[in-house]
Structure 1
Amino acid sequence: MDYKTLVKKMTIREQACLLTGADFWHTWQMTKYGLPSIMVADGPNGLRKVGKGENVKNGTVQAICFPSATAMASSWDKDVLKKIGGAIADECIANRVSVLLGPGINIKRSPFCGRNFEYYSEDPVLAGELAANFVNGVQEKGVGTSLKHYAANNTEKKRMLSNSIVDERALREIYLRGFEIAVKKAQPWTIMSAYNKINGVYCTENSWVQNDILRGEWGFEGLIVSDWTAVGNRIAALNGGLDLEMPGSGFANVRKIAKAYRDGELGAEVIEECATRVLDLVTKSVPLLKKPAPAFSKDEQHKVATDLARGCPVLLKNDGILPISKEQNIAIIGERAKIPLYQGLGSSRIYPYKVDNVVDTFVEKGVNVKYARGYDVACDDVVNQSFIDEAVALAKSVDVAIVFVASSKAHASEGADRTNISLPEPQLALIDAVCEASKNVVVVLQTGSSVEMPWVDTPRAILQAHFLGEGAGTVITEILLGEISPSGKLSETYPISIESLPCPNDYLTDEENNVLYKESIFVGYRYYEKTGTPVLFPFGHGLSYTDFTFADLSLSAKTITPDDKFTVSFSIANIGKVDGAEVAQIYVGLKDSRVFRAPKELKEFIKVNVAAGAKENVSVELDRRAFEYFSKELNAWVVEGGTYEIFVGSSSSDIRLKAEVTVKSDEAKDEINYKEMAPLYFAGDIKNVTADDFANISGMYAEDFIDKTDDRFTRDNGFCEAKKTPSGKKFVGVIEKILETVLKDKPDAYIMVYNTIMEIPLTHFIGVSFGIVTDQTIDGIVHYINTGKRLQSFGIVLSGALDAFANMFSLLGKVIIEKISRK
């Protein structure tokens, strides 16, 4: 039966059941209609399937760990992203997973975001193009994806409470553009709505973002699913365009949906439309479920993951010391050479099949190396002088010392932001000591995002490996020995220090739960180039063991109109002695503009393999997206007429070729005068932008989102905000003691779990508990925190006991019925 016919045969209650998960990872099964349950699973860098039995650790099934998003993006290779997507899809098929919850393409607005390792880039074109290829790679195998986290979710601190205050132009050009590219080029089966608010409205309830833009303007055909526990008001979320609530809330929200329908708060057409999208998702998954699980070789998949990681590491600096020779006397220093940091913490964490390390790989290749521990990875804040003394003595005795360092685990974790962008103190001390002892030092970094490098001038070479997945040891060793030439490029700018950032005090959620995007469009290289601020390493930077020249630039036309397609052609020659790959980056800038702009912006890129002594001809096509900006005044994407510069380079700061094209257009003729209205933005003086300046371009002040009439604790607050009252402080103290007891043996999980419990709005506990926590439970807790009156508060909680029992027994009945039906 066609699902569009099927949904009309269902009752409102049955349709409502489809709109919430059956549990944490499955949709509802309805045997009455022959409707199977499908499973979704985390996995932007490998499959993280929750399960039981053999080959299960910490509740997750063993799987292949691929490079993290930062490492993938550093390949700048669309084909690699597609292949990684396809390889992870193979594992999904073998494990009967219908939807992979990834990729994540939130913009790296700041190095502080603890989840940056899960995201591709600071640039929306790079992020969107790579995401589209990853999605296509997965979905061509019959497995769905979930593009996340939609949208403007760029901080982990109080992520479930935070409100991103961002002007529409920046939202459209920077934070939504990547999603738009991926939707139009790949049509992901699902998109995951984020935890945060955008300009005062939760993403899950935001009809403008979900219905008007995503579905209306971009033509998104799939399903919108919530991030896990992101739904507080199910009725508002349905009216706002959210189809599927995850995880399941039992029958608690099913009852609320039915009541809202009876009360006229929710139309039957909304319920039916959302249920239809869930049925469409299930229908697309059925062919996979009907096929027998294919044979799957983890050894072969490990080789695939290793091979696809080879183009990801970025050679930041090299004066000729690399590659090293097997005949040299080599010291490997730093425990991360034996225990690589190959992935981050949180929902993307994979239980890997096997993890290669550098020391063992060197030995396997017949290279005689000496090893010194250097530091203890379990003690990020304690300098062990004996370890350093051992490393110094070893460094003095060898031809070359390779120092391995990495970010702390706490700086690469979902649910927490970084407090600084430095390496751990013991590793900084190690670098300084070894570089003082030897003039021949190579530093290998394993971090999920940019880091400060006050020591940058002392080592002779720096290799940024990122989180390379389980093949990290093999790939790093091959590059150090020159078996492959590095070809990665940075997907984000590396600032010199925190003080270099445009708005260092506006990145984290403030006490009022607001995050002010005061810099507007000036994110990453757009800001640094606009202001001339020096950087450590620029966007797109990456060295090779060979040299490339760019030449023969030609444009298909010298004058075009906005809707003309336009070709940029040039050649790349490898003038070195080894084969290599170069990334050609195409930027576009307008010489004289009526609106504030960055000097240039990335519009296309291509990775080209060039044999030693060979030359390759390259052509890329640009369309109106390369020239347009979003006008808030005109409420449209606009191409401004004028002379545009076309830049072709090896990085944003290493431009090799340049030409001009004239675009004839009067689309911006009615644009306002930004020189008068926003002079500081026009001049790029972002650090001095005031609240009035931001209001001039956005129409908003941060104070607009602060309720000054009532400072009491509410259902929409999190426990982290309850400590303002004496009774709240006591209540939270009890919760903290429970968490410390339960998680005392799980330090890696503590930060994420603690922050989630403390920062989740209280209303969300209703869904998380499958309705066993009721509205009255929440009201009772709120009453106690505000008044300290225990008996009154307990009475309020008890008034919801019947609802709690009803939800509990309904849930139990559903579980029993499903188990019987599956037998």
Structure 2
Amino acid sequence: MSWNVSDKQLNALVAEMTVEEKVAAVSGHGLWRTAANYRLNIPELLMTDGTYGVRYSIDQIDGMQDGDGQLAAFLGVVNTDLSTGVESAFGSTRPATCFPNGSSLACSWDVGLAYDLGQALAAECQAFGVNILLGPGINIRRTPLAGRSYEYYSEDPVLSGEIAAAVINGLQQNGVGASLKHFACNNSEVQRTTMSSVVDERALREIYLAGFERAIRKGNPWTVMSSYNRLNDVQAAENHWLLTEVLRDEWGYDGVVVSDWHGIKDRPASINAGNDLDMPESGARKQDLIDAVKDGRVPMEALDRSCLRVLKLVRTARNAIRPNAEADFNKHHALSRRMAAESIVLLKNEMAILPLDAAKVGKIAVVGAAAAEPVIQGSGCATTRPTEVDIPLDEIRRLAPGATVSFHAVADFEAGSASEQSALAAIDAADVVLFFGNTEVGYDGEGSDRTHLDLHAGQDELIGRLGKRNGRIVVILFAPDAVAMPWIDSVQAVVAAFFGGQGVGKAIADVLFGRQNPCGKLTVTFPVQMEDIPGYLSYPGENGRHVYSEGLHVGYRHYDKRKLAPLFPFGFGLSYSTFEYSNIATSADRIDGSGTIRITFDITNTGSVAGKEIVQLYARPHSPRLMRPIRELKGFAMVELQPGETKRVEVTVESSDLRYYDPAYRQWLLDAGQIDFEIGASSRDIRLEKTVMVDAPALPSTILDVESQPFLVLERDFARRRFRDFLKAQLDLDDEEAAKMMEYCASSFLGIYKTVSWVAGEKISKATMAAFLDGLNKEIGRQSARQHDVMTAPFEADRTR
């Protein structure tokens, strides 16, 4: 079962392989396995889907490994209307725990809980004989319309990366490999295999790649999965810049890059780019690679390198197998309940209608099919057949045994129907109405984006109508991401459960009746209307290109910059407790480019019940060189407090997390100057702040080159003098001639080199001008540094008093 081979032996195996055997080693066998090599005694690996549950299709995994049959089975998974049920989509699928989906789990902001998820998933994988689980998925939730947003964690890369790293560690420390996906910019399901995500380099690095880098640095996943889409017009699976220059050369990743299923269009190009493993099996793609190696289009070194990586993965995974492993599904169901409860977000609670007092609520009217058939997960390859499902309606009746609990479908309220008067009478008589709303089942998911932010047909209108009859309405939402709430002023409370997995029914009831104090907070911004979404004007793209027009300003960054009021801000969530923040301090008043700083503060539970508070740390630069978001998340912590209890909280920030990417310098930079650390209950509820000084080499606002307009050279006195002296020396000018030349340059709209050469001809070469400007850039930097020292002297004096 294990495969104990040394690095030397692995290299010898690669050397002994034929081209055909090497190509087989870097290709799938059937849908879910790597290829075994019986001649060389190389075992296979088994992988399957599951970002929040193990999807083990018996037909696909244990059936015949015929290529045509496997492809048909795969397409059946991704194309089936999942509203008809899990079994119809997957045939005979082994039951496994359906944990809260990514958009739900992340609302806990709890990396420990994320680790527990990874650990539980690993136990079920070990029991099923699965070596690699294809997750977690951490693409940025750029738009709430995105079909797979339910799989992903957040609109912010720091939170996404931290949660993903914890899941990865939970999996891999228990012997099952992770596959961090989808690399990169798989943010929409519209024409997902052909659409090009067109993203400027700053946004790409600071937003869309940053979460991947963080998860890789802290979790080191055994595999990274390349995405279906094109990135800046190059197929992601064939993108050398992405897969080699960034992932391997810059980040130092040494694991296996695996394609998304049939995500490779040009197999030779993909292996040259650094995409090692082609999944699933394709005879045509294997032959293309064999031909490319034999005619020299793919160097043997590239094939050998990928082959060795795959063999190392096989060794790691096989040696991590735990024979006779068993999964405790009862324990995992309890974990699913706990995860759901910790992730539920209380969005509104007027007049403290929640928690309900079971002893005082005589009549409860429950409305909506989702109360009896909860929407526990999204649709697509990640869908899990649950081992059991808690039903919200049953759990409500269990916790309120003395109450009369009536149940009504949305159709019962159809105007003029036989059931309308009876249903409305129940609403009028109810002490509280619990409305279970949901988005369209089976539409949002893999292969299709949502087309609106509304609830399923008729629900928004009905909530508003019922709110006029009985103001004591609590709305419980099952949704993959943000929804609009045109009825928000008609209800007293809103509870967001997202897709909370198989234990969400009990979790909801526990929150409604106060057995669980809600502590979840939003990991995305909820817009008032669809038109407020960042990038709305360029979504979903056209002519095969989707321009990410909002650039850096994704999610809360967009709403802050535009001073646009969201429905609910990023990081928002209510509690049955109240919390007071005080006494902020920092471990130092200055931070440099290689340091860390600790921000500490007090949190007090000023309420009457125990609760947890998720505190967020944001950084807000005072005078950035380049355009930057107003504030950005840099850390967070969860604090559990008894009534009246105070705890000292510490959040550590590395200086590297304060950097931004400058495409002109082609590197990550740190701005010198003042920066505020803000402590908030949400991105719009800042409670404390502290200013510190960042010590870093000061840089000019503009890098001068031969195409720079002359006014940029002349705007500083010392640069103007240097330029005048340069012209005098190069063109042999006297003072009067030099002054006229400077006056001419100052009025030119051409680049500096073209401006000078227009009247001076070739007396100054482009290379000479470039060398002069390079030297001027360095001197501007030194001048800026001296200016920075003068400006910060008062801050330093205040600090030492």
- TM-score in same-fold range (> 0.5): yes
| Alignment match, 1:347 | 381
Once residues 354 and 341 of structure 2 are traced to their aligned partners in structure 1, the CA distance between those partners, rounded to angstroms, is: 16
Gaps of 5+ in 1: 678-823
| Alignment match, 1:587 | 618
| Alignment match, 1:371 | 406
Out of 512, 521, 525, the residue aligned to residue 489 of structure 1 is 521
Once residues 411 and 621 of structure 2 are traced to their aligned partners in structure 1, the CA distance between those partners, rounded to angstroms, is: 51
Out of 343, 348, 365, the residue aligned to residue 317 of structure 1 is 348
Once residues 228 and 384 of structure 1 are traced to their aligned partners in structure 2, the CA distance between those partners, rounded to angstroms, is: 50
Matched, 1:217 2:250: yes
One-letter code of the match for 1:462? V
Aligned partner of residue 585 in structure 2, secondary structure = strand
Aligned partner of residue 294 in structure 1, secondary structure = coil
Once residues 507 and 534 of structure 2 are traced to their aligned partners in structure 1, the CA distance between those partners, rounded to angstroms, is: 35
Once residues 103 and 467 of structure 2 are traced to their aligned partners in structure 1, the CA distance between those partners, rounded to angstroms, is: 28
| Alignment match, 2:743 | none
Matched, 1:418 2:450: yes
Matched, 1:359 2:366: no
Once residues 493 and 579 of structure 1 are traced to their aligned partners in structure 2, the CA distance between those partners, rounded to angstroms, is: 27
The answer (yes or no) to whether the contact 1:587–1:646 under 8 Å persists in 2 is yes
Out of 245, 253, 277, the residue aligned to residue 278 of structure 2 is 245
Out of 616, 622, 628, the residue aligned to residue 597 of structure 1 is 628
- Within-5 A mapping of 1:442-461: 442-461=474-493
Once residues 618 and 375 of structure 2 are traced to their aligned partners in structure 1, the CA distance between those partners, rounded to angstroms, is: 34
One-letter code of the match for 1:159? R
| Alignment match, 1:779 | none
The answer (yes or no) to whether the contact 1:335–1:376 under 8 Å persists in 2 is no
Once residues 19 and 657 of structure 1 are traced to their aligned partners in structure 2, the CA distance between those partners, rounded to angstroms, is: 53
Aligned partner of residue 617 in structure 2, secondary structure = strand
Once residues 522 and 111 of structure 1 are traced to their aligned partners in structure 2, the CA distance between those partners, rounded to angstroms, is: 15
The answer (yes or no) to whether the contact 1:444–1:464 under 8 Å persists in 2 is yes
| Alignment match, 1:668 | 699
- Within-5 A mapping of 1:639-678: 639-666=670-697, 668-669=699-700, 671-672=702-703
The answer (yes or no) to whether the contact 1:388–1:433 under 8 Å persists in 2 is no
Going from structure 1 to structure 2, the CA distance change for 1:15 and 1:388 (only over 3 Å counts) comes to farther
Out of 107, 131, 138, the residue aligned to residue 98 of structure 1 is 131
Once residues 175 and 163 of structure 1 are traced to their aligned partners in structure 2, the CA distance between those partners, rounded to angstroms, is: 14
Going from structure 1 to structure 2, the CA distance change for 1:553 and 1:471 (only over 3 Å counts) comes to same
The answer (yes or no) to whether the contact 2:32–2:46 under 8 Å persists in 1 is yes
Which string of whole-angstrom CA distances, capped at 9 and with x for unpartnered residues, describes residues 768-813 of structure 1? xxxxxxxxxxxxxxxxxxxxxxxxxxxxxxxxxxxxxxxxxxxxxx
Out of 134, 140, 144, the residue aligned to residue 107 of structure 1 is 140
Aligned partner of residue 138 in structure 2, secondary structure = coil
- Within-5 A mapping of 1:433-512: 433-510=465-542, 512=543
| Alignment match, 2:14 | 7
| Alpha-carbon distance, 1:561 to partner | 1.4
- Within-5 A mapping of 1:163-182: 163-182=196-215
- Within-5 A mapping of 1:70-469: 70-250=103-283, 252-289=284-321, 291-319=322-350, 320-327=352-359, 328-329=361-362, 330-367=364-401, 368-375=403-410, 389-469=421-501
Once residues 170 and 699 of structure 2 are traced to their aligned partners in structure 1, the CA distance between those partners, rounded to angstroms, is: 39
One-letter code of the match for 2:425? A
| Alignment match, 1:804 | none
RMSD: 2.0
Aligned partner of residue 39 in structure 2, secondary structure = helix
One-letter code of the match for 1:181? R
| Alpha-carbon distance, 1:369 to partner | 3.9
Out of 15, 23, 28, the residue aligned to residue 21 of structure 1 is 28
Which string of whole-angstrom CA distances, capped at 9 and with x for unpartnered residues, describes residues 442-478 of structure 1? 1111101000101111111100011110001100000
Once residues 422 and 478 of structure 2 are traced to their aligned partners in structure 1, the CA distance between those partners, rounded to angstroms, is: 22
Going from structure 1 to structure 2, the CA distance change for 1:431 and 1:387 (only over 3 Å counts) comes to farther
| Alignment match, 2:661 | 630
| Alpha-carbon distance, 1:513 to partner | 0.7
The answer (yes or no) to whether the contact 2:110–2:163 under 8 Å persists in 1 is yes
The answer (yes or no) to whether the contact 2:340–2:497 under 8 Å persists in 1 is no
| Alpha-carbon distance, 1:294 to partner | 1.8
The answer (yes or no) to whether the contact 1:374–1:430 under 8 Å persists in 2 is no
One-letter code of the match for 1:464? A
| Alignment match, 1:553 | 584
| Alignment match, 1:721 | none
Matched, 1:528 2:559: yes
Out of 43, 46, 49, the residue aligned to residue 42 of structure 1 is 49
The answer (yes or no) to whether the contact 2:228–2:235 under 8 Å persists in 1 is yes
Going from structure 1 to structure 2, the CA distance change for 1:383 and 1:263 (only over 3 Å counts) comes to farther
> 180-189 or 393-402, which moves further after superposition?
393-402
| Alpha-carbon distance, 1:364 to partner | 2.7
| Alpha-carbon distance, 1:386 to partner | 5.3
Aligned partner of residue 484 in structure 1, secondary structure = coil
Which string of whole-angstrom CA distances, capped at 9 and with x for unpartnered residues, describes residues 68-90 of structure 1? 00001111111111111111111
Once residues 429 and 383 of structure 1 are traced to their aligned partners in structure 2, the CA distance between those partners, rounded to angstroms, is: 12
Gaps of 5+ in 2: 64-85, 710-801
Going from structure 1 to structure 2, the CA distance change for 1:581 and 1:35 (only over 3 Å counts) comes to same
| Alpha-carbon distance, 1:626 to partner | 2.9
The answer (yes or no) to whether the contact 1:155–1:507 under 8 Å persists in 2 is no
The answer (yes or no) to whether the contact 1:85–1:137 under 8 Å persists in 2 is yes
Which string of whole-angstrom CA distances, capped at 9 and with x for unpartnered residues, describes residues 66-112 of structure 1? 00000011111111111111111110000000000001101111112
Once residues 77 and 387 of structure 1 are traced to their aligned partners in structure 2, the CA distance between those partners, rounded to angstroms, is: 45
Once residues 114 and 463 of structure 1 are traced to their aligned partners in structure 2, the CA distance between those partners, rounded to angstroms, is: 22
Which string of whole-angstrom CA distances, capped at 9 and with x for unpartnered residues, describes residues 173-220 of structure 1? 000000000001110000110011111100000000000100111111
Aligned partner of residue 536 in structure 1, secondary structure = coil
Once residues 220 and 416 of structure 2 are traced to their aligned partners in structure 1, the CA distance between those partners, rounded to angstroms, is: 52
Once residues 163 and 416 of structure 2 are traced to their aligned partners in structure 1, the CA distance between those partners, rounded to angstroms, is: 42
Aligned partner of residue 640 in structure 1, secondary structure = coil
**Higher radius of gyration, 1 or 2:** 2
- Within-5 A mapping of 1:60-75: 60-75=93-108
Higher relative contact order (CA closer than 8 Å, sequence separation 6+)? 1
Once residues 664 and 395 of structure 1 are traced to their aligned partners in structure 2, the CA distance between those partners, rounded to angstroms, is: 63
The answer (yes or no) to whether the contact 2:123–2:326 under 8 Å persists in 1 is no
Which string of whole-angstrom CA distances, capped at 9 and with x for unpartnered residues, describes residues 672-722 of structure 1? 59xx99xxxxxxxxxxxxxxxxxxxxxxxxxxxxxxxxxxxxxxxxxxxxx
Going from structure 1 to structure 2, the CA distance change for 1:387 and 1:552 (only over 3 Å counts) comes to farther
| Alignment match, 1:801 | none
Once residues 568 and 578 of structure 1 are traced to their aligned partners in structure 2, the CA distance between those partners, rounded to angstroms, is: 27
Once residues 412 and 361 of structure 1 are traced to their aligned partners in structure 2, the CA distance between those partners, rounded to angstroms, is: 27
| Alpha-carbon distance, 1:372 to partner | 2.6
Once residues 369 and 406 of structure 1 are traced to their aligned partners in structure 2, the CA distance between those partners, rounded to angstroms, is: 24
Which string of whole-angstrom CA distances, capped at 9 and with x for unpartnered residues, describes residues 237-260 of structure 1? 00011000111113x333222221
One-letter code of the match for 1:9? E
Going from structure 1 to structure 2, the CA distance change for 1:388 and 1:193 (only over 3 Å counts) comes to farther
The answer (yes or no) to whether the contact 1:375–1:387 under 8 Å persists in 2 is no
Once residues 444 and 381 of structure 2 are traced to their aligned partners in structure 1, the CA distance between those partners, rounded to angstroms, is: 12
| Alignment match, 1:743 | none
| Alpha-carbon distance, 1:668 to partner | 3.3
Count, aligned residues: 669
Once residues 387 and 661 of structure 1 are traced to their aligned partners in structure 2, the CA distance between those partners, rounded to angstroms, is: 65
Q: Percent identity?
A: 36
One-letter code of the match for 2:163? L
| Alignment match, 1:803 | none
